[in-house]
Every structure is written in structure tokens, then in C-alpha cells.
Structure 1
Amino acid sequence: MPVDLKPPVAEDLHPIAGLRIGVTEAGVRKAQRKDLTVFLLEEGASVAGVFTQNRFCAAPVQVCREHLASGHPVRAMVVNTGNANAGTGADGLVRARATCIALARLLEVSPEQVLPFSTGVIMEPLPNDRIAAALPAALADAQPAHWARAAEGIMTTDTVPKASSVRTTIGGVPVHATGISKGAGMIRPNMATMLGFLATDACIAPELLQPLVRELADASFNRITIDGDTSTNDSFVLVATHKAGNASITSLDSPEGQALKAALMQVAQTLAQAIVRDGEGATKFITVRVEGGRTEAECRQVAYAIAHSPLVKTAFYASDPNLGRILAAVGYAGIDDLDQGTIDLFLDDVHVAVNGGRNPAYREEDGQRVMKQSEITVRVALGRGSAVQTVWTCDFSHDYVTINADYRS
């Protein structure tokens, strides 16, 4: 069961003017499940994206990068679940491009104006013939309000669809932001086995979208980890349709730029945290906050060491306050000149360690009380400076092994 995560309510998700979504069943891997989604963008929309840093990246990732670099305005995105089209060599590229060609023909645009995305099983040929055959049904289904259907249509081992939406005012004009994501395992920053699609109707200078999507990713999807594995297919895309009617934002540092960024960040972080809450077999949502570092980089380094540790994660699953495991992770995080005598450790309001040793006032029953909660904050104070960073993770349960052992069956 996901940790304090409920399915989205379709009526709460704001349609984005200039964007329609269609979802259908293509039988990519399993019959009678929504597994093909198309996003249709009106002329004039702007798109930017960030992708996995895994060098063994999937064919659709390679094609997306090529099409975005071509400079052609994006008019459509096509997403299939059930098959990742990764580890498929030159044939995988041919099949990803064939999908783009098939959709482009139906829309009467060029193939470079279509971005493909895939998620699912690796090293199996993409059944692009089934996808092409189902595209007309997806187009016929396209509606502005189909965000909740799309959230369901991109799921793999997710147990709950993930979507979020906000409305704000910029320059006196209503502006909307809505997004969906998928991901539950093979999750590690840079980015995660995730797909994320975030759209806004705000008017914003197109050249601002790429730095904006990078900043959003770095503070959301690049701050989550479930199992430390970096996927082959990670993609996070930001779309601006420019339909809201606000005066065009020309600087992210302006009050209008900051307001838009805050709205988009709220959606992105909600989606990222939803992935952790729905982590494969997760029973607890854990915030790891490292403060007092000399740099943000070393704070992240320590936070990830804690969040990736199987020993730490299994202790949280068992509600076992074996908290020396956290201190050990801090110690092997790779900070060569770390002084253990300045380190404090907290579990929520419980002060566990002070100056590198057990707090004389700490009682194990207090630690266990916190560890039994479904949401827990681990706070480490390094005592080296003023930098702070936060990472979100979950525990490891028996179900994580079961899910991943059975995934291909």
C-alpha cells in the first residue's frame, strides 16, 4: 500500500489550454489495460526536457534528444507503458522513429515534431505495429481534461496514479499548472525510472524553459531515491502553451518568473514525493535532511548515503532503532575531513546523538516510537557550515523483493 497517497481526483486537475490528451489500449504487453497515451499540443507551444544520465539510455530517450535538438516545434508526445524499448540496439531506434512517423502522418506534421516515451520491460522489441494501430483511438479520445486518465495510462508497477495541479495568478491573470508522473522502483536521482509530464498555460519566453525544467528537476525528481538504481528511460518534460494571456515572462528572477516557478515547483515536488510514497513495497516515507555542511554537494552526498543504505532502510521497515547504521552511512559518505565529533542526529523531535556519540538523554523507546510512524524525518547536523539539502526516500520491505522477482512474469 502506498504511504499516505490517494489517487488523484479528475475534477481537481486543471485542463491546460492548448493541450489535449488521449488514452487507449494498445496491448503493448498486457490486454485490457490503458497503455498508450498521446499529448497533442497546439501550434506555438514550447517544450523542454531533461533525461536519464544512464549511458545505456533507451531508444526513445535518444530520439527525444535528437528531436528537441532539431529545433522543430513539438506538436505531440506519445507514451507507451509495458515495454521500455531499452537495450534494443539499432532496431529499437528504428521502432521508436517508426512510432513518431506513424503519429506524424495522422497529425500531418513532421516526425521531428513528435517526442516518443516508453517505460516497462527492458530488452524486448517494441511492438510498434500495435502502437501504430491504436493511435487513431488515442487521437479520438483526446480531451483537455484527461489528465487523470493519462496518469493511469503511464503506470507500470505503480499502485496509484500520480497527478497534481495548481492555479495561481500572475500579473492579475489566472495561470494553471498540471502534471503527472509514474515510477515506483529503479528509482535513483539522475533521474529515476520515471516519466514526468508538467504543463502550464503561462506565457513565458521559450528560451527560459530549459533552465527552468532543469531547476525544477534538481529540486524534485533529483531528490528522490527508492533503491539507488538509475534507469534507462527517465524523462521529465515541461510544456508551456502560452495560452493564459499574461504578459510574457522574460526573466525567471522577476516577480512573475518567481511566481510561476513556485507554482511549477509545487507540482513537481508533489509528483516526486508521490513516487517515493508509492515505492515498491514501501511502508514508510522518509525525509532525510542534512544541514551544517560546507557545501550543498556534500550535504547531498551524506543524504544519499543514508537514503541508499539497505541496512538503514530495512531498519526503518522493522521499526528497529538500530541508529548506528545512520551514523555509519554518514561516515562512509566520502567526506574525507569529516569530524565525527561535531555530528548530531535527530529522528523527528528525538535527539539521538550529540557530538558524534549517543545523547545521554536518548531512550530507545523514543526512537522506536518515531520509527513506527508512517512518515519520519531524519536530520543530521554536520557542524561544518551553513549548507542544507533534503532527499526523500522510503523503507525496504519483503514486498520490494517479491515485486522485482516477479516483474517479468
Structure 2
Amino acid sequence: MSAPQVISLGCRLNISESEQIRAMLAQERDLVVVNSCAVTSEAVRQTRQAIRRARRDNPAARLLVTGCATEVEREQLAAMPEVDGFVANTAKLDPRAWNVPAAVPAPQDRTRAFIAVQNGCDHACTFCIIPQGRGPSRSLTIAQVLAEVERHLEYGASEVVLTGVDVTSWGHDLPGNPPLGELVQAVLDTFPNLTRLRMSSLDGIEIDPLLFELFAGEQRLMPHLHLSLQHGHDLVLKRMKRRHLRHHAVDLVERLVALRPDLAVGADLIAGFPTETDDHHAANLSIVRDLRIVHGHIFPYSPRPGTPAARMPQVERETVKRRAAQLRAVATQTRDEWLASLVDKPHSVLAERDGTGYTPHFARVALPHGTTPGEILTVTPQRYENGLLQ
């Protein structure tokens, strides 16, 4: 190999950071970087698997590991003979940590720009180890975010996505504690030519009044709300130490959809959390329908050593798998019904590099051969097949 290879596991923020690492290390040779994840025991297993595979495929390369697993599973990873070294998760975007020049690299993705406006987390959800891997919540200032947006737009990005570990906590550590809506408004006001601004996963209980108004009425803010929901039953939410209850999510979505009927709702849901009963699971299934969740991210619970949930009474693994499959089935049916309803209607679609593109509410559309990546075009799909509007 010659050019560096960056292998990314885990969340969207990790993927965004991997792109920055790839650009920063563009002049390096014979280097493999594994940007690890530690959100679950399964994620750590996949990290170790990725490290072993990378070494088999690149026996002569220098192999470095960064990401959350380097903070919470350092001893386990250090014992792997395939690993040559580590870069601290908090330093992985610092050129000095990689011993490369500090020049700002050109963005690699000129279609959609992921901008991490916040990192870390101050909360203590009982299933989550991420605060140990990424540290406390830290926010970019509005000026820093605007500079990043401007840089990506200069390189031709057609859509900007504001992302982070706990995006709705943005601003809590800044002077005056500005709400996230203030940042979103500043981006829209500063860049009137930015036609598509999208938010990554949000904690619904922390959506401030200004951000609510923007979701309800600002056409340049995409009608795509992804909630860090986790469960549909209040008792399980309390045992997770979430800060919302079921009715908070239902009320939020009902109010927004009443003002913006085309809003597409996504959510993270965990199946088989410790102590989950059949009734709890039924509430999880029903909230998919109640909120009309069309972008469902379903996770079977797996115990993460070092978290309070790992010490709670566990649900049998076969039951966890079965409940996850049932949740996926309901989410898939809800999504299929929604996508079928979009047929024979015109949609503004942002073209990707793989011959598909995405509508404002993140429905995936097949595009004509030869469409230029980054182009925004109007498409009227004639059918829905195999997960694609066509």
C-alpha cells in the first residue's frame, strides 16, 4: 500500500473525524489507522476484528489505533501484537499527535459536510461508556462553526450536517450558555446560499424554543428529526437514566408534525434492556407506530463492562435477539409504507457518488446515470423497490 488507509467504526461523528484524519495524513505512506468504537462489547469485538483484518491485509504497514476504545480498552488493545501504537481520542484531530504539518486539509467530501460542533458528554446513561471515551461536553464557538461551514462551502459542499456526541448540549460550556437554536440560526443567517442544513441525532428534551421554531418553519433546515429516544416505556427510560419520558417524545413529534407535515422522524431504540418485560417491549413496539418512526436505528442490548446497566438483571440473549428482530420488522414496515407514499411526487434530491441521492427527509433515491455528485435535482420517482425510490 502507499496512501494511508483509515478504517472507521461506530457513530457518524467517528466517520466525520475519519475523513478529517484521512485528509490530514494524505501525504503519509504505508499507514493504517483504525478509528475505534467502544459503545458496546460488540463494538469492541468488531474493533479487534478490524485490527486483525487490517494487519493481515497490510502486513508491512504501520498500524495505529485511535477512537473511544483506546481510552476504555487500552490494555486489551495494547496486548494485540498487530498494533504498533495509539493516538489519544482527544488528540486525534491534532496534527501534532500524528507528527504531520499543521496545514488545514481540504475537505474530502464535497457533497455533504459533517461538522462536529460538539464533543463529549456530561450525562450518565446507565448503558453508555462514551463519556469515558470522549470526556466531558465541549463546544465549538459560533465563530468556529461558521468558519468551518464557510470552508466546506468554498470547496463545494451542497449540504451541511451539524453533528456531535450530544449535539443538544452544545453551548452549555460557552459564555452565556447559548442554546443550539442560536447556533443554527447563525449558520442560516450567515450563509443565505446554503440551501440544505441537517441536524444529526438530538435529545428531544433539550430542543430549545428557537430550534423548535426553525424545525417547524425554516425550509432550509431539513425536515428530518432523529431522536436519541432509546425506549418507549417510562420505567425502562428511568432505569436508563434518560431525562425524558414517553409523553415528552410523543408531544414533541405531534407538535412539530402539526406545523410541518412532511417531517420524517428517526430514532435510536434499544431492545432487551436489563429488566425489560414483555409489556415494556410492547411499549417499544408501539412507539414506532405512535411517532411514525421511518428512520429506525435498532440496537439489541449488549452489556458493556463498567456501566451500571451491566450489573442489572439481564434479559436472556435469545429474547433480546427476538425482540430486536420484532422491532426491526415494525420499523421496516413503517418505513416501507412511508417510502411508498413518496412515489409520483417531485422531490429535491442531493446526488451522492454511488448513483443515488437523498431527499430533504433523507429518503434514498436512484438517480439517472451520469448525475454529478453534489448536484441538487428534482426527481419524481415512479416506484419503490429494494429500499430505493426509483
> TM-score, normalised to structure 1's length?
0.27
Name whichever structure is richer in strand by fraction.
1
Structure with greater proportional helix content: 2
- Length-normalised TM-score, structure 2: 0.28
Q: Which has the higher contact order (CA 8 A, sep 6+)?
A: 1
